[in-house]
Amino acid sequence: MQSAVTRQISAELRRRLAKASNVLVLTGAGVSAESGVPTFRGGGNSAVWKGMPFDVISSATMVRRNLPAVWEWFDYRRELLKSLRPNPAHQEIARWQKRFADLSVVTQNVDGLHQLAGSKDVIELHGSIWRSRCQDCRSKIQISRTEPRAELCLDCGESLRPDVVLFGEILPSGAFELAAEKAGACELCFAIGTSGLVYPAAGLPEIAKAAGAYVCEVNPERTPVSDICDEVLTGKAGEVLPLL
Ligand code: OAD
Protein backbone atom coordinates (compact mmCIF):
# COMPACT_ATOMS: atom_id res chain seq x y z
CA MET A 1 0.00 0.00 0.00
CA GLN A 2 1.22 3.52 -0.85
CA SER A 3 1.96 5.97 1.97
CA ALA A 4 0.13 9.30 2.14
CA VAL A 5 3.33 11.11 1.11
CA THR A 6 3.94 8.81 -1.88
CA ARG A 7 0.38 9.47 -3.07
CA GLN A 8 1.13 13.22 -3.21
CA ILE A 9 3.95 12.76 -5.73
CA SER A 10 2.48 13.40 -9.17
CA ALA A 11 3.23 11.42 -12.31
CA GLU A 12 4.41 14.72 -13.81
CA LEU A 13 7.08 15.14 -11.11
CA ARG A 14 8.20 11.52 -11.55
CA ARG A 15 8.48 12.09 -15.32
CA ARG A 16 10.50 15.26 -14.81
CA LEU A 17 12.76 13.59 -12.23
CA ALA A 18 13.45 10.81 -14.72
CA LYS A 19 14.54 13.13 -17.52
CA ALA A 20 15.99 16.19 -15.76
CA SER A 21 19.69 16.84 -16.01
CA ASN A 22 19.86 20.30 -14.43
CA VAL A 23 18.38 20.47 -10.92
CA LEU A 24 18.62 23.08 -8.18
CA VAL A 25 17.93 22.39 -4.52
CA LEU A 26 17.44 25.31 -2.13
CA THR A 27 17.51 24.24 1.51
CA GLY A 28 16.73 25.94 4.78
CA ALA A 29 16.76 25.12 8.47
CA GLY A 30 13.98 22.54 8.06
CA VAL A 31 16.31 20.17 6.22
CA SER A 32 18.46 19.92 9.36
CA ALA A 33 15.52 19.77 11.80
CA GLU A 34 15.47 15.97 11.78
CA SER A 35 19.19 15.99 12.69
CA GLY A 36 18.29 17.97 15.81
CA VAL A 37 19.22 21.49 14.68
CA PRO A 38 16.50 23.91 15.82
CA THR A 39 14.82 25.97 13.09
CA PHE A 40 14.58 29.76 13.33
CA ARG A 41 10.83 29.97 12.82
CA GLY A 42 8.05 27.59 13.68
CA GLY A 43 7.87 25.59 16.89
CA GLY A 44 7.27 28.64 19.06
CA ASN A 45 10.58 29.29 20.79
CA SER A 46 13.02 31.76 19.31
CA ALA A 47 16.59 31.21 20.43
CA VAL A 48 17.87 33.26 23.34
CA TRP A 49 21.50 33.29 24.48
CA LYS A 50 22.26 34.65 27.96
CA GLY A 51 19.13 36.77 27.82
CA MET A 52 19.86 38.12 24.33
CA PRO A 53 17.52 37.24 21.47
CA PHE A 54 19.12 35.50 18.50
CA ASP A 55 19.01 38.57 16.27
CA VAL A 56 20.88 40.63 18.89
CA ILE A 57 23.73 38.22 19.67
CA SER A 58 24.03 37.22 15.97
CA SER A 59 24.33 40.77 14.69
CA ALA A 60 26.88 43.00 13.02
CA THR A 61 26.44 45.45 15.91
CA MET A 62 27.43 42.80 18.45
CA VAL A 63 30.56 41.90 16.45
CA ARG A 64 31.64 45.55 16.80
CA ARG A 65 30.62 45.87 20.46
CA ASN A 66 31.49 42.50 21.93
CA LEU A 67 33.25 40.04 19.62
CA PRO A 68 34.14 37.61 22.47
CA ALA A 69 30.42 37.24 23.29
CA VAL A 70 29.66 36.49 19.65
CA TRP A 71 32.41 33.85 19.62
CA GLU A 72 31.10 32.37 22.87
CA TRP A 73 27.68 31.92 21.23
CA PHE A 74 29.14 30.42 18.04
CA ASP A 75 31.52 28.14 20.00
CA TYR A 76 28.51 26.91 21.93
CA ARG A 77 26.53 26.23 18.73
CA ARG A 78 29.50 24.44 17.11
CA GLU A 79 29.88 22.28 20.19
CA LEU A 80 26.21 21.24 19.95
CA LEU A 81 26.61 20.52 16.23
CA LYS A 82 29.57 18.22 16.75
CA SER A 83 27.37 15.35 17.88
CA LEU A 84 24.69 15.84 15.17
CA ARG A 85 24.67 13.75 12.01
CA PRO A 86 23.21 14.26 8.53
CA ASN A 87 19.70 12.83 8.19
CA PRO A 88 18.08 10.97 5.25
CA ALA A 89 17.29 14.31 3.56
CA HIS A 90 20.96 15.40 3.48
CA GLN A 91 21.93 11.88 2.37
CA GLU A 92 19.38 11.79 -0.46
CA ILE A 93 20.46 15.23 -1.71
CA ALA A 94 24.09 14.02 -1.69
CA ARG A 95 23.04 10.97 -3.75
CA TRP A 96 21.37 13.27 -6.31
CA GLN A 97 24.87 14.36 -7.39
CA LYS A 98 25.18 11.01 -9.18
CA ARG A 99 21.57 10.98 -10.36
CA PHE A 100 21.55 14.36 -12.16
CA ALA A 101 24.26 15.58 -14.53
CA ASP A 102 24.15 19.08 -13.05
CA LEU A 103 22.97 19.44 -9.46
CA SER A 104 23.30 22.70 -7.54
CA VAL A 105 22.85 22.62 -3.78
CA VAL A 106 22.17 26.08 -2.41
CA THR A 107 21.75 26.31 1.34
CA GLN A 108 20.88 28.96 3.86
CA ASN A 109 22.21 26.67 6.59
CA VAL A 110 25.56 27.26 8.24
CA ASP A 111 25.80 23.83 9.91
CA GLY A 112 27.88 22.00 7.28
CA LEU A 113 25.60 18.93 7.34
CA HIS A 114 25.19 18.82 3.54
CA GLN A 115 28.97 18.55 3.18
CA LEU A 116 29.16 15.96 5.95
CA ALA A 117 26.62 13.88 3.98
CA GLY A 118 28.88 14.11 0.91
CA SER A 119 27.48 17.05 -1.08
CA LYS A 120 30.18 18.90 -3.03
CA ASP A 121 30.40 22.54 -4.11
CA VAL A 122 27.54 23.57 -1.83
CA ILE A 123 26.66 27.24 -2.34
CA GLU A 124 26.48 28.62 1.20
CA LEU A 125 24.41 31.78 1.06
CA HIS A 126 24.79 32.54 4.76
CA GLY A 127 28.34 31.30 5.35
CA SER A 128 29.49 28.49 7.61
CA ILE A 129 29.82 28.03 11.33
CA TRP A 130 32.91 25.92 10.52
CA ARG A 131 34.88 28.88 9.16
CA SER A 132 36.26 32.11 10.55
CA ARG A 133 37.17 35.23 8.62
CA CYS A 134 39.73 37.95 9.29
CA GLN A 135 38.11 41.25 10.16
CA ASP A 136 40.90 43.07 8.31
CA CYS A 137 42.25 41.13 5.31
CA ARG A 138 39.13 38.90 5.06
CA SER A 139 41.14 35.70 4.63
CA LYS A 140 39.19 32.61 5.68
CA ILE A 141 40.20 29.78 7.97
CA GLN A 142 38.47 26.43 8.33
CA ILE A 143 37.57 25.55 11.92
CA SER A 144 38.48 21.98 12.82
CA ARG A 145 36.05 19.63 14.55
CA THR A 146 38.82 18.45 16.86
CA GLU A 147 41.40 21.25 17.30
CA PRO A 148 40.80 24.56 19.10
CA ARG A 149 40.00 27.38 16.66
CA ALA A 150 42.62 30.04 15.82
CA GLU A 151 42.17 33.32 17.70
CA LEU A 152 44.03 35.54 15.23
CA CYS A 153 44.43 35.68 11.46
CA LEU A 154 47.37 33.54 10.29
CA ASP A 155 48.06 36.00 7.44
CA CYS A 156 47.94 39.40 9.15
CA GLY A 157 47.46 38.78 12.89
CA GLU A 158 44.15 40.68 13.13
CA SER A 159 41.13 39.31 14.98
CA LEU A 160 38.87 36.69 13.43
CA ARG A 161 35.09 36.56 13.41
CA PRO A 162 32.65 33.79 12.41
CA ASP A 163 32.31 33.59 8.60
CA VAL A 164 28.54 33.72 8.90
CA VAL A 165 26.08 36.30 7.61
CA LEU A 166 24.74 38.05 10.70
CA PHE A 167 21.67 40.23 11.10
CA GLY A 168 22.34 43.60 9.52
CA GLU A 169 24.87 42.19 7.03
CA ILE A 170 24.80 41.55 3.32
CA LEU A 171 25.45 38.16 1.70
CA PRO A 172 29.02 37.14 0.77
CA SER A 173 29.83 38.51 -2.64
CA GLY A 174 29.27 36.11 -5.50
CA ALA A 175 27.29 33.43 -3.65
CA PHE A 176 23.81 34.71 -4.44
CA GLU A 177 24.81 35.74 -7.96
CA LEU A 178 26.01 32.18 -8.67
CA ALA A 179 22.87 30.69 -7.11
CA ALA A 180 20.66 33.00 -9.17
CA GLU A 181 22.49 32.00 -12.35
CA LYS A 182 21.96 28.31 -11.51
CA ALA A 183 18.28 28.96 -10.66
CA GLY A 184 17.78 30.64 -14.03
CA ALA A 185 19.24 27.61 -15.82
CA CYS A 186 17.65 24.67 -13.96
CA GLU A 187 14.77 22.50 -15.21
CA LEU A 188 13.66 21.37 -11.79
CA CYS A 189 13.88 23.42 -8.58
CA PHE A 190 13.22 22.15 -5.07
CA ALA A 191 12.64 24.45 -2.08
CA ILE A 192 13.16 22.23 0.96
CA GLY A 193 12.65 23.16 4.60
CA THR A 194 12.68 26.91 4.19
CA SER A 195 10.07 29.37 5.41
CA GLY A 196 10.68 31.44 2.27
CA LEU A 197 10.66 34.63 4.28
CA VAL A 198 14.29 35.71 4.07
CA TYR A 199 15.42 37.38 0.86
CA PRO A 200 17.32 37.19 -1.40
CA ALA A 201 17.43 33.39 -0.86
CA ALA A 202 13.62 33.18 -0.95
CA GLY A 203 13.70 34.71 -4.44
CA LEU A 204 15.54 31.74 -5.99
CA PRO A 205 12.44 29.57 -6.62
CA GLU A 206 10.81 32.63 -8.24
CA ILE A 207 13.82 33.06 -10.54
CA ALA A 208 13.66 29.38 -11.47
CA LYS A 209 9.91 29.55 -12.08
CA ALA A 210 10.21 32.68 -14.24
CA ALA A 211 12.85 30.90 -16.34
CA GLY A 212 10.50 27.96 -16.96
CA ALA A 213 11.57 25.44 -14.31
CA TYR A 214 9.15 23.07 -12.56
CA VAL A 215 9.19 24.17 -8.90
CA CYS A 216 8.47 21.80 -6.04
CA GLU A 217 8.35 22.50 -2.32
CA VAL A 218 8.98 20.02 0.50
CA ASN A 219 7.81 21.29 3.87
CA PRO A 220 5.34 20.14 6.54
CA GLU A 221 3.74 23.62 6.38
CA ARG A 222 2.65 25.98 3.64
CA THR A 223 4.95 28.98 3.04
CA PRO A 224 4.90 32.00 0.71
CA VAL A 225 6.88 29.85 -1.75
CA SER A 226 3.98 27.36 -1.94
CA ASP A 227 1.97 29.84 -4.00
CA ILE A 228 4.39 29.82 -6.93
CA CYS A 229 5.09 26.08 -6.82
CA ASP A 230 3.95 23.59 -9.43
CA GLU A 231 3.85 20.96 -6.72
CA VAL A 232 3.84 21.06 -2.92
CA LEU A 233 4.84 17.92 -1.03
CA THR A 234 3.60 18.23 2.53
CA GLY A 235 5.86 16.37 4.92
CA LYS A 236 9.26 16.14 6.52
CA ALA A 237 12.25 16.36 4.20
CA GLY A 238 13.81 13.19 5.64
CA GLU A 239 10.65 11.24 4.86
CA VAL A 240 9.70 12.80 1.49
CA LEU A 241 13.06 13.00 -0.32
CA PRO A 242 13.92 9.28 -0.17
CA LEU A 243 10.57 8.59 -1.90
CA LEU A 244 11.49 10.68 -4.93
P1 OAD B 1 13.12 28.95 9.11
O2 OAD B 1 13.35 28.58 10.53
O3 OAD B 1 12.62 30.32 8.82
O4 OAD B 1 12.07 27.95 8.48
C5 OAD B 1 12.20 26.57 8.64
C6 OAD B 1 11.18 25.89 7.76
O7 OAD B 1 11.42 24.50 7.82
C8 OAD B 1 9.73 26.13 8.15
O9 OAD B 1 8.98 26.50 7.01
C10 OAD B 1 9.28 24.76 8.69
O11 OAD B 1 7.91 24.50 8.41
C12 OAD B 1 10.17 23.83 7.90
N13 OAD B 1 10.45 22.53 8.52
C14 OAD B 1 10.47 22.21 9.83
N15 OAD B 1 10.78 20.91 9.98
C16 OAD B 1 10.96 20.40 8.74
C17 OAD B 1 11.30 19.11 8.22
N18 OAD B 1 11.53 18.07 9.02
N19 OAD B 1 11.38 18.97 6.88
C20 OAD B 1 11.15 20.01 6.05
N21 OAD B 1 10.84 21.24 6.48
C22 OAD B 1 10.73 21.43 7.81
O23 OAD B 1 14.46 28.63 8.35
P24 OAD B 1 15.03 29.27 7.00
O25 OAD B 1 13.98 29.39 5.97
O26 OAD B 1 16.25 28.47 6.67
O27 OAD B 1 19.55 33.55 8.24
O28 OAD B 1 15.46 30.69 7.50
C29 OAD B 1 16.11 31.53 6.61
C30 OAD B 1 17.13 32.37 7.31
O31 OAD B 1 16.50 33.05 8.40
C32 OAD B 1 18.23 31.59 7.99
O33 OAD B 1 19.25 31.17 7.13
C34 OAD B 1 18.76 32.60 8.96
C35 OAD B 1 17.46 33.24 9.46
O36 OAD B 1 17.55 34.60 9.66
C37 OAD B 1 20.69 33.99 8.78
O38 OAD B 1 21.09 33.60 9.86
C39 OAD B 1 21.42 34.97 7.95
pTM of the predicted structure, to 2 decimals: 0.95
Nearest residue to 70 via CA among 59, 80, 81, 82:
59
Residue nearest to atom 11 of ligand 1 (CA): 221
Long-range contacts of 202-210 (CB under 8 A, 24+ apart): 204/24, 204/26, 204/106, 204/179, 204/180, 205/26, 205/229, 207/180, 207/183, 208/24, 208/183, 208/184
pLDDT, tens only, 1-27:
678 888 899 999 999 999 999 999 999
**What is the reported pLDDT for 43?**
53
The residue to mutate among 87, 108, 164, having the most atoms of ligand 1 within 8 angstroms of its beta carbon, is 108
With contact defined as beta carbons under 8 Å apart, do 216 and 231 qualify?
A: yes
Mean pLDDT value across the chain: 93
Mean pLDDT value of segment 203-226: 98
Ligand 1 atom at shortest distance from the alpha carbon of 223: 9
pLDDT, tens only, 49-88:
777 888 888 899 999 999 999 999 999 999 999 999 999 9
Answer yes or no: 90 catalytic: no
- Report how far ligand 1's centroid is from the alpha carbon of 40 (Å): 6
Residue nearest to atom 25 of ligand 1 (CA): 194
Query: Which residues, including other chains, have CB under 8 Å from residue 107's CB and lie 6 or more apart?
Result: 26, 27, 28, 31, 114, 122, 123, 124, 125, 126
Question: Does residue 195 have a pLDDT over 90?
Answer: yes
Domain ranges within the chain, ordered by starting residue = 4-37+86-126+173-243, 40-83+135-164
- Report how far ligand 1's centroid is from the alpha carbon of 154 (Å): 34
Cβ < 6 Å from ligand 1: which residues? Answer: 28-30, 33-34, 39-42, 108, 126, 165, 193-195, 197-198, 218-221, 223, 236-237
**What is the reported pLDDT for 47?**
63
User: Based on C-alpha coordinates, what's the Rg of the chain?
Assistant: 18
- Report how far ligand 1's centroid is from the alpha carbon of 108 (Å): 8
User: What is the rounded distance in angstroms from the CA atom of residue 45 to the CA atom of residue 97?
Assistant: 35
**What is the reported pLDDT for 89?**
98
The residue to mutate among 32, 73, 219, 239, having the most atoms of ligand 1 within 8 angstroms of its beta carbon, is 219
pLDDT above 70 covers a percentage of the chain that reads 97
Indicate the SS3 state at residue 77.
helix
Question: Does residue 102 have a pLDDT over 90?
Answer: yes
Mean pLDDT value of segment 221-238: 97
Pairwise pLDDT comparison (45 vs 171), residue with the higher score: 171
Question: Does residue 153 have a pLDDT over 60?
Answer: yes
With contact defined as beta carbons under 8 Å apart, do 21 and 240 qualify?
A: no
Residue 42's pLDDT band (boundaries 50, 70, 90)? low
76-85, 115-124, 227-236: the lowest-pLDDT one: 76-85
Indicate the SS3 state at residue 26.
strand
Question: What DSSP letter does each residue of 162-200 carry, written as one string?
Answer: EEEPPBT-PPPTTHHHHHHHHHHH-SEEEEES--S-STT
Question: Does residue 182 have a pLDDT over 90?
Answer: yes
- CATH architecture of the domain with range 4-37+86-126+173-243: 3-Layer(aba) Sandwich (3.40)
**What is the reported pLDDT for 44?**
45
Q: Which helix (H) or strand (E) holds 93?
A: helix 88-99
Question: Does residue 41 have a pLDDT over 90?
Answer: no
**What is the reported pLDDT for 200?**
94
With contact defined as beta carbons under 8 Å apart, do 242 and 213 qualify?
A: no
Q: Distance from CA of residue 89 to its chain's centroid?
A: 12
Question: Does residue 45 have a pLDDT over 70?
Answer: no
**Backbone φ, ψ for residue 28 (5° rounding):** -130, -170
